[in-house]
Amino acid sequence: MENELRFEKAEFSTRLLVVKKEMEKRGIDVLLLSEPSNANYLTGYDAYSFYVPQMVLVALNHDEPVWVGRGMDGVSARMTTYLSQANIRPFPDAYVQSALSPYDFVAEVVKEVAGPKVKIGVEMGGYYYSARAHADLVNALPDATFFDADLLVNWIRLIKSPAEVALMRDAGKIADAMMHRAIDIVEPGVRECDIAAVVYHQMMAGTPDFGGNYTCSPIYLCVGEKALAPHAAWSDKPLPAKTIINLELFGNRHRYQVNLARTICVGTPTQSYQNLADVVVEALNAGLEAVAPGKTAEEVHAAFAKTLAKHGHEKEARLGYSLGLGYPPAVGEKTVSLRKGDQTVLEPGMCFHMMSGLWLENDGITITQPFVVTERGHEPLTQIPRKLFIK
């Protein structure tokens, strides 16, 4: 069976060592990971199977992580991870969407690997760790002590390795291709859904050198009045002779995702709207120029906000967020935000989406930039011009 491991085994070993050191620091014997991105990060596991319970167990006394998931998905575990067969523990299909709890099965694996009286860390804020899941685990492991270890792995993932950054660059090239394709097709009379269709085609086709993958969320194609909303859905209406399109899309390469947004104006924009676009680009560039190792996330935000305020505008929402490895429903790592009050110090290898979009009372505009922090400043992960596109 061909293995689809995306990184060298040594890189996975380094990741696991760092996670175990953090577990020791917190007094955690066993870490149960429900987030697909964290499971992927430590094992390479990749399959669209997270709609049913699955977990990766990391125990201090066990060399490898242990994957626990649906029986039929054990094949994917063998294909995409470095784990030995003994550490791939599929549960019978009788546990799937039935009165039986898969977490009883997980509990038995925990007891076998680490014993019943252990200190267990779980991802209390995880998208795929429900209240029922926690209750079932607590009931099945009465002698264990549970701790909230939410974001333990997320913070470790924050600094990407060179191999991870390479995948982010690839994802950025896919995002560029998607945006160029969207801009090319936009013209009066084209249906919104047809714009979405070509964007999705390019998302999967990628570039001539490599293909893409499904993303962590649908694209946001916000047309006309919907341009005032950041996360609106497209329709099947044809574009009028004059309108605004805010498009946020995502390039994804082996689950590493880059977010990108641009505004496309159909017809000649008003002078006031063009002025707004110029202000957003100026503030965006000021924020990017402030990026450097040793600077805080708050300082980057301040550079953007100062320039924006000079022109009488304010962005209430955060300026950006860390991104990288992800699965639905969102790519954000839930760690660093480019905003006032975030004192996280930037380091090389951190990746962000500088989401400089503005949603004002009468106007919405999105001209953004994903980037990676470098030794000297930043490297853009996409190359499409930072400007208002006019068709």
The answer to whether the CB of 192 falls within 8 A of the CB of 208 is no
Structure token pair of residue 244: 């605004």
pLDDT for the residue 1: 72
The answer to whether the CB of 120 falls within 8 A of the CB of 141 is yes
Say whether pLDDT at 64 is over 90. Answer: yes
Mean of the pLDDT values across residues 102-121? 98
Rounded to whole angstroms, the Cα distance separating 350 from 291 reads: 11
Average pLDDT, the chain: 97
**Each residue's pLDDT tens digit, 260-287:** 999 999 999 999 999 999 999 999 999 9
Share of the chain above pLDDT 70, in %: 100
Mean of the pLDDT values across residues 105-116? 98
Say whether pLDDT at 328 is over 90. Answer: yes
Structure token pair of residue 180: 């160029």
Rounded to whole angstroms, the Cα distance separating 23 from 39 reads: 16
pLDDT-based confidence at residue 3 (cuts at 50, 70, 90): confident
Q: Which domains are assigned to the chain?
A: 9-157 (3.40.350.10), 162-390 (3.90.230.10)
DSSP codes of every residue in 5-20: --S-HHHHHHHHHHHH
**Each residue's pLDDT tens digit, 253-267:** 999 999 999 999 999
Say whether pLDDT at 218 is over 80. Answer: yes
pLDDT for the residue 2: 73
- From start to end of 216-325, where are the E strands? 220-223, 243-253, 256-266, 320-322
**Each residue's pLDDT tens digit, 365-376:** 999 999 999 999
Contacts 24+ apart (CB under 8 A), 195-203: 195/221, 195/234, 195/245, 195/247, 196/221, 196/234, 199/247, 199/249, 202/174, 202/177, 202/178, 203/174, 203/178, 203/249, 203/250, 203/251, 203/252
Going by the DSSP 8-state scheme, the letter that residue 86 receives in this structure is: G
Structure token pair of residue 198: 């070509």
pLDDT-based confidence at residue 149 (cuts at 50, 70, 90): very high
Going by the DSSP 8-state scheme, the letter that residue 237 receives in this structure is: P
Structure token pair of residue 10: 């040594």
DSSP codes of every residue in 173-229: HHHHHHHHHHHHH--TT-BHHHHHHHHHHHHHH--SS------SS--EEEEGGGGGS
The reported pTM is 0.96
pLDDT for the residue 362: 92
**Each residue's pLDDT tens digit, 77-97:** 999 999 999 999 999 999 999
